[in-house]
Amino acid sequence: MGHASMLNRPEQDAGKDVWNAYLHERANIAGDVEDLWCHDMGCAAWIVVRRNTISHTIYEAKLANEVRDAD
């Protein structure tokens, strides 16, 4: 699903620039990223995965709802 920034949904009245950035603007990073993954054919969990797009190394994976709760 792309960047874990999808977790940070703006308020309804945040304005079109904020909403546009939330929905459409993603950095295409060669290096460390935080992704949102879905365990689609399994337990249906959404996971925040910290990984490297060059080496494919996975540093850490957390359940998305726990990341949200910690915010």
Partner 1 sequence: MRIEGKGHIDRAQPIEFHFGGEKYSGFQGDTLASALLANDVHLVGRSFKYHRPRGILTAGSEEPNALVTIGEGAEREPNVRATMQELYAGLQATPQNAWPSLKYDLLSMNDALAPFLSAGFYYKTFMWPKSFWEKVYEPFIRNAAGLGALSGAHNPDTYARAFAHCDVLVIGGGPAGLRAARVAADAGLDVILADEGWELGGQLLSDSAEIEGQLAGDWAASEAQALSEMENVRVMTRTTITGAYDGGTFGAIEKRGTHLANPKGALECFWRITSKRAILCAGALERPIAFTDNDRPGIMNAGAVKTYLNRFGVSPGQSIAVFGNNDNAHQTARELIAAGVKVAAVIDSRTQAQVNVDAPVFTGSRVIGSKGRLRVREIAIETDGETRSLEVDCLAVSGGWNPTVHLTCHMNARPVWEPSIHCFVPLEGAVPGLMVAGAAAGIFSTHGCLQSGGRVAATVARDLGKSPEDPKTPHSQNQSYGIEPLWDAGGTKGPWGRAWLDFQNDVTTKDVRQAAKENYASVEHMKRYTTQGMATDQGKNSNVGALAILADATGRGIPETGTTTFRPPYSPVAIAAMGAGAQGKGFAPQRFTTSHTATVARGAPMIEAGLWYRPSFYPEVGETHWRESCDREVNLVRNAVGVCDVSTLGKIDFQGPDAASFLDFIYCNTFSTLKVGKVRYGLMLREDGHVMDDGTIARLGEQHYVMTTTTAAAGQVMKHLEFVHQCLRPELDVSFISVTEQWAQFAVAGPQSRRLLNTLLDEQINDADLPYMSCGEIGVSGVAGRLFRISFSGEHAYEVAVPARFGDSLFRLLVAQAEALGGCAYGMEALNVMRIEKGFITHAEIHGRTTAFDIGMDRMVSQKKDCVGNTMSRRPGLLDDTREQLVGFKPKGHAQKLSAGAHLYNDGASPVAENDQGYVTSVAYSPSLETDIGLGFLKGGRARIGETMRVVDALRGIDGIVEICGPVFLDPEGDRLRG
- Taking the complex as a whole, the smallest distance from the CB of residue 27 to partner 1 amounts, in Å, to 19
Which residue from 16, 27, 28, 31 is in contact with partner 1, where contact means CB under 8 A? 16
| 64 makes contact with partner 1 (CB under 8 A) | yes
Which residue from 3, 19, 50, 52 is in contact with partner 1, where contact means CB under 8 A? 19
Concatenated DSSP letters for the chain?
Answer: -EEGGGGSPPPTTS-HHHHHHHHH-----SSEEEEEEE-TTTT--EEEEEEETTT--EEEEEEHHHHHHH-
> What distance in Å separates the CA atoms of residue 8 and residue 31, rounded to the nearest whole number?
22
Please give the residue ranges that form the binding site for partner 1 (CB under 8 A): 1, 6-7, 9-10, 12-14, 16, 19, 23, 36, 38, 40, 44-46, 55-56, 63-65, 68-69
